[in-house]
A and B are shown apart, each in its own frame.
Chain A
Amino acid sequence: MSAALETRGLCKSFGALTVADRIDFRLESGARHALIGPNGAGKTTFVNLLTGLLRPSSGTVLLGGEDVTALAQSGRVKRGLGRTFQINTLFRDMSVLDNVALGVAERHGVAGGFWRPASGQRAVREESLELLARLGIADEAGRRVLDLPYGKQRLVEIAIALGLKPRVLLLDEPAAGVPSLESERILQALDSLPEDIAILIIEHDMDLVFRFARRITVLVQGEVLCEGTPQEIADDVRVHQVYLGERHA
């Protein structure tokens, strides 16, 4: 069976700097997979290559077995690929509801309508509100995003991605810098997602990684160092040297 998401020989260089080095990677459907590695290892770049925000120097990206390397971001989203950003990437001067509704409307295929008012799109509104309720921020629906505290902005960041109903979800440090209440909500929301969704999470908090992930890939300087179950990774000497060791030193 083909993987939910797969890369073959994926490479990316910025000038002389190689940030992705022949990455072969598989994300099975229903996976709860973590991608870890020191800062600057190329994790965010890898996600950007997967979504089409960046073009690879070489190699291919397959989504559900289909080669999507040449496909623009919107085409990959249509095929079920969703993501969040490490640094909040929100519609700051718009309402919380709008932040989610813009994506929901794209998925419903009504976002190009230019005659009837947006506020009349009941299905889009209701679905967006429901999602906000699931993340505990339904009360904020009418507020501007830039007026929210950081932790709640982070929940909006997640909500936008969930609004796409992705079959493959890429989370770039979703809980970084988030107060514990909000990070608990993020985890709950992820737990409540359908089992067959494939999730790749980039995370520095090892407790969170070991709680969430059933598989871990370690990336160092653009190369996959190793991959395995949380236990195997925790026991791996090389991982301790380059990553865990460095953190606990």
Chain B
Amino acid sequence: MNHPVGYNADHRLRWTEWLPWVVALAVFFLLPDYLSLGARVLTYILFALSLDLILGYAGIITLGHAAFFGLGAYVTGILSAKLGVNDPLLQMLCSACAAGLLGLATGALVLRTHGLTQLMLTLAVAAVCLEVANKATPVTGGADGLSGVTVAPILGLFRFDMYGRTAYLWCLVLVFGGWWLIRRLIYSPFGAALTGIRENSVRMHAVGAPVYKRLLTVYTLSAAIAGIAGALLTQTNQFVGLNVLGFEPSGELLVMLILGGVGRLYGAFVGPLVFLIAQDFLARQFPEYWYFGIGLMLVVVVLFARGGILGISDAVIARMRRKA
């Protein structure tokens, strides 16, 4: 369902909003062979949620969100592989802070611009990060990446097992936390103000809103959440490489979100799920057609269903209700 926010909105949980968590737990108990794919999906859901917050609600267009994801991934990787800091919570915290700081610093510039300039600037930030990671071989491992990442038991209690059970649940807990935080935020006056900025920033200025400050706040927060998603990726893979940075992961994330539906919170769940499962099955069997297939899906969604997969399902449900 589409989620209207603001002073009229009903912020109470609908039963459909429990579905993702029921499904996630069902996967844990019923499909133990798919936990590593599941952890990957969960990681990208958190990453996509962070993008939906700024793109779908605040209307900030970015092609460089992987800069924050990648920084988070590298911070955790470097902490463990180079400095021997293996506590997952501490890694997470450092990744979130580093990515948040980068968001604050680059946002201060990026958010002063609009449209195409903004898009190019976000792209440039991600490109610079990629180049730095590529060149700083002693720290990042360069093109070889960083292996030898170890993660200590969570709170000293829960060891990361070889079946990926702990990793999966750890991802689930963080996605749940991120979802809960973002959900509160979009239903709050702050969330309404972000939507107002997206809808008409000229008028937001004219009603006395500190538009730039609001945007910078949400950009920083979104970057920090993306950094947490990046840290999750490193912790569950125990490896980090250049593929977490740059244009490609940023673009892929955007594709996932558009596929699922932008600005509706749960598009960030559906998009990565469909994309990554399709990738897992199709890319293995038809490696040469995989991108073509995704491209085709994207074209169909953009042309015929602006609301993504969730938009289509909304329309179908509405039509069935009308018939009934």
Residues of A within 8 A of B (CB): 51, 53, 72-74, 77-78, 83, 85, 89-95, 97-98, 101-103, 105-107, 110-119, 121, 124-125, 128, 141-142, 160, 163-164
Contact = CB atoms under 8 A, between A and B. Distances in A.
A118 B195 CA distance: 12
B190 A101 contact: no
B6 interface: yes
Interface in B9-41: 9-11
Question: Which of B7, B187, B202, B210: most chain A Cβ within 10 A?
Answer: B7
Contacts of A103: 207-208
Main secondary structure of the interface of B (DSSP, over half): helix
Contact of B188 (A92, A94, A113, A163): A113
A95 to B, nearest CB: 5
B188 to A, nearest CB: 5
B47 to A, nearest CB: 21
B208 A77 contact: yes
17 contacts: A74-B208, A91-B196, A91-B199, A91-B203, A97-B7, A98-B8, A98-B195, A103-B207, A112-B214, A114-B190, A114-B191, A116-B188, A117-B9, A121-B189, A124-B189, A160-B203, A164-B207
B148 to A, nearest CB: 39
A89 B208 contact: no
B207 A106 contact: yes
Contacts of B8: 95, 97-98, 119, 141-142
Chain B interface: which size bin?
Answer: 20 to 34
Contact of B189 (A51, A90, A111): A111
A114 B185 contact: yes
Nearest to B200: A91
Contacts of B202: 53, 85, 89
Interface of B: 4-11, 184-185, 187-193, 195-196, 199-200, 202-211, 214
B169 to A, nearest CB: 27
B10 A119 contact: yes
A93 B214 CA distance: 20
Given A91-B199, A119-B11, A119-B187, A101 B208 contact: no
Given A115-B184, A118-B192, 17 more contacts: A74-B208, A83-B206, A91-B199, A92-B200, A93-B199, A94-B199, A95-B4, A95-B6, A95-B7, A95-B8, A97-B8, A101-B6, A101-B192, A102-B209, A106-B209, A112-B193, A121-B189
B208 A73 contact: yes
Contacts of A89: 200, 202-203, 206
A52 B206 CA distance: 9
Contacts, number: 129
B189 A113 contact: yes
A77 B7 CA distance: 22
B190 A112 contact: yes
Contacts of A125: 7
A87 to B, nearest CB: 10
Contacts of A116: 188
A103 to B, nearest CB: 3
Contacts of A97: 6-8
Contacts of A51: 206
Contacts of B211: 74
A74 B205 contact: yes
A147 to B, nearest CB: 13
Question: Which of B5, B8, B191: most chain A Cβ within 10 A?
Answer: B8
A74 B7 contact: no
Contacts of A119: 6-11, 187
A83 B205 CA distance: 11
Contacts of B188: 113-118
Contacts of B10: 119
B142 to A, nearest CB: 40
Contacts of A73: 205-206, 208
Nearest to A113: B189
Contacts of A91: 195-196, 199-200, 203
Contacts of A112: 189-190, 193, 214
A87 B192 CA distance: 23
A113 B205 contact: no
A105 B193 contact: yes
B117 to A, nearest CB: 19
Contacts of B214: 112
A1 B187 CA distance: 46
